[in-house]
């Protein structure tokens, strides 16, 4: 499918268009498209759940219509599932939970597709997708060559991977292989997940608990446009954290020890600056979770960009901490 001046799917619900929009159903079709449109500005999207389009896209936007998953190997304890990039991650998770296969259940209900979630290293409730990714298969944009990246070669970090840095724009992930568990070891240490998951948790009961918790705090993108968390949680040095507690005379600043420093929830910083629930044009800092910016009332891209910039400035002025978007500006 190739269309001109086509509306680009994006969960912010912004009315943006691609000069060319093309969907492919096989790796061969993808290679043909790459050859045909070589030299064009190119963007590959999933559901557009982590993108902020600041204007129409003058180039080609690609999307995968490959949506299958298969078991590629198993032993007594594990099963290796290979999923196509265009499969909706949550649909895969639901099927796995149904079969009692675990590892991805904490990531239930995160919007997005398999390929994009492996670029972004999505995470929630104490699990990141990198924890269960064995390898990814990708196609080089330049010449269509296939390359397999092991988990280590993906250089995964917090909402980060080599595909967002050194290899940005150079590869399209076509398949992801997950190493999943036959025997369930629930991960319930985040927030109130343990109490929500029941006495004898199963992958499905944890999935349901996660969905319940998410629905309480996060907007449904089908009802209220957003890209989930707009900012990353900043990690500061211990000195910075201690200076901050002295400066604002508050030793109850929420914080989490991390490798490399102390994580302070951006949601808390933003709320302290008074932004929770505030609007700028049609964009709003979400009233239930200020880390999320929403399209409350026909927001324009500028409304969202301006709101994000104003929030960053206030957090910097009040706390001396830089928060940065996790959403990609296009
Ligand atoms: N907080 C406030 N005010 C609020 C809400 C939260 O001060 O109104 C503070 C509280 O101290 C709370 C802390 O923020 O304990 C953490 O809040 P929450 O558990 O909601 O998590 P988060 O750090 O804000 C991250 C992810 C989410 C993920 C949740 C749960 C990032 C950027 N975001 O949010 O991911 O669902 O943890 O694991 O790391 C996403 O990436 O789109 C996303 C939704």
Domains of the chain: 2-64 (3.30.43.10), 69-216 (3.30.465.10), 219-329 (3.90.78.10)
Segment 139-183, tens digit of pLDDT: 999 999 999 999 999 999 999 999 999 999 999 999 999 999 999
Protein residue with least CA distance to atom 26, ligand 1: 124
**pLDDT for 249:** 75
Protein residue with least CA distance to atom 29, ligand 1: 124
**pLDDT for 193:** 93
| CB-CB contact of 70 with 176 (8 Å) | no
Dist CA 261 CA 92 (whole Å)? 34
Segment 226-274, tens digit of pLDDT: 999 999 999 999 999 999 998 887 778 999 998 889 999 999 999 999 9
- Indicate the pairing of strand 78-84 with strand 171-181: antiparallel
- Indicate the pairing of strand 57-64 with strand 42-45: parallel
pTM over 0.85: yes
Q: Dihedral (C-alpha) 286, 288, 290, 291: value to the nearest 10 degrees?
A: -100
The DSSP code for 160 is B
The distance from CA 25 to its chain's CA centroid, rounded to whole angstroms, is: 23
Dist CA 106 CA 125 (whole Å)? 6
Segment 24-45, tens digit of pLDDT: 999 999 999 999 999 999 999 9
Task: For residues 90-97, give the mean pLDDT.
Answer: 98
Mean pLDDT of the chain: 96
User: Could you tell me the two tokens for 313?
Assistant: 């400035």
**pLDDT for 259:** 84
| CB-CB contact of 34 with 141 (8 Å) | yes
**pLDDT for 152:** 98
**pLDDT for 247:** 85
What region, left, alpha or beta, does residue 136 occupy, with left being phi > 0 and alpha being psi -120 to 50 degrees? beta
What region, left, alpha or beta, does residue 120 occupy, with left being phi > 0 and alpha being psi -120 to 50 degrees? alpha
Segment 73-91, tens digit of pLDDT: 999 999 999 999 999 999 9
The total number of residues written for the chain in this structure: 330
What is the distance in angstroms between the CA of the first residue and the CA of the last residue of the chain?
23
**pLDDT for 164:** 96
What is the distance in A from the centroid of ligand 1 to the CA of 82? 30
- Indicate the pairing of strand 256-258 with strand 279-280: unpaired
Catalytic residue among 108, 135, 161, 229: 229
Percent of the chain with pLDDT over 90: 95
Residue 229 known to be catalytic:
yes
Neighbour count for residue 38 (Cβ, 10 Å): 12
**pLDDT for 289:** 97
**pLDDT for 141:** 98
**pLDDT for 143:** 96
Residue 185 known to be catalytic:
no
- In which element (H, E) is residue 89 found? helix 89-98
Dist CA 315 CA 324 (whole Å)? 11
Task: For residues 101-112, give the mean pLDDT.
Answer: 97
Q: Which of 68, 102, 103 has the alpha carbon at shortest distance from 87?
A: 68
What residue ranges line ligand 1, CB within 6 angstroms? 124-125, 190-191, 217-218, 228-229, 232-233, 254, 265, 267-268, 271, 289-291, 326
**pLDDT for 132:** 98
User: Which atom of ligand 1 is the closest one to the Cα of 217?
Assistant: 20
Q: Dihedral (C-alpha) 106, 44, 292, 320: value to the nearest 10 degrees?
A: 110
**pLDDT for 252:** 82
Task: For residues 60-70, give the mean pLDDT.
Answer: 98
Segment 270-314, tens digit of pLDDT: 999 999 999 999 999 999 999 999 999 999 999 999 999 999 999
Neighbour count for residue 53 (Cβ, 10 Å): 23
Segment 118-128, tens digit of pLDDT: 999 999 999 99
User: Could you tell me the two tokens for 209?
Assistant: 């608990």
Substitution candidate for ligand 1 out of 116, 127, 267 with most atoms within 8 A of CB: 267
Q: How confident is the model at residue 191 (pLDDT cuts 50, 70, 90)?
A: confident
Q: How far is CA 17 from CA 10, 61, 245, 295, in A?
A: 10, 9, 47, 18
């Amino acid at each position: 499918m190739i269309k001109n001046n086509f509306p680009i799917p994006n969960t912010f619900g912004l009315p943006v268009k691609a000069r060319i929009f093309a969907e492919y159903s096989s790796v061969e079709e993808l290679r043909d498209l790459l050859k045909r449109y070589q030299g064009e500005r190119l963007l590959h999207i999933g559901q557009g759940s982590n993108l902020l389009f600041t204007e129409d896209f003058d180039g080609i936007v690609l999307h995968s219509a490959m949506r299958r998953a298969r078991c590629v190997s198993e032993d007594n304890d594990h099963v290796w599932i290979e999923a196509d990039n265009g499969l909706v991650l949550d649909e895969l998770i639901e099927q796995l939970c149904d079969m009692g296969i675990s590892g991805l259940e904490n990531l239930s209900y995160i919007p997005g597709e398999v390929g994009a979630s492996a670029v972004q290293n999505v995470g929630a409730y104490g699990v990141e997708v990198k924890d269960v990714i064995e390898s990814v298969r990708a196609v080089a944009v330049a010449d269509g060559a296939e390359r397999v990246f092991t988990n280590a070669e993906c250089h995964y970090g917090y909402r980060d991977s080599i595909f967002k840095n050194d290899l940005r724009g150079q590869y399209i992930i076509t398949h992801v292989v997950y190493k999943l568990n036959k025997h369930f070891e629930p991960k319930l240490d985040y927030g109130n997940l343990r109490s929500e998951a029941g006495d004898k948790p199963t992958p499905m009961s944890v999935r349901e608990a996660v969905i319940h918790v998410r629905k309480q705090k996060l907007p449904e993108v089908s009802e209220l446009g957003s890209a989930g968390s707009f900012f990353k949680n900043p990690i500061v040095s211990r000195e910075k954290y201690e200076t901050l507690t002295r400066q604002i005379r508050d030793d109850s600043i929420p914080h989490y020890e991390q490798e490399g420093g102390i994580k302070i929830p951006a949601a808390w910083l933003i709320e302290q600056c008074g932004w929770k629930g505030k609007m700028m044009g049609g964009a709003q800092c979400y009233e239930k979770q200020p880390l999320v910016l929403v399209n409350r009332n026909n927001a324009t891209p500028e409304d969202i960009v301006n709101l994000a910039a104003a929030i960053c400035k206030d957090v910097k002025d009040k706390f001396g901490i830089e928060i940065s978007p996790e959403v990609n500006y296009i």
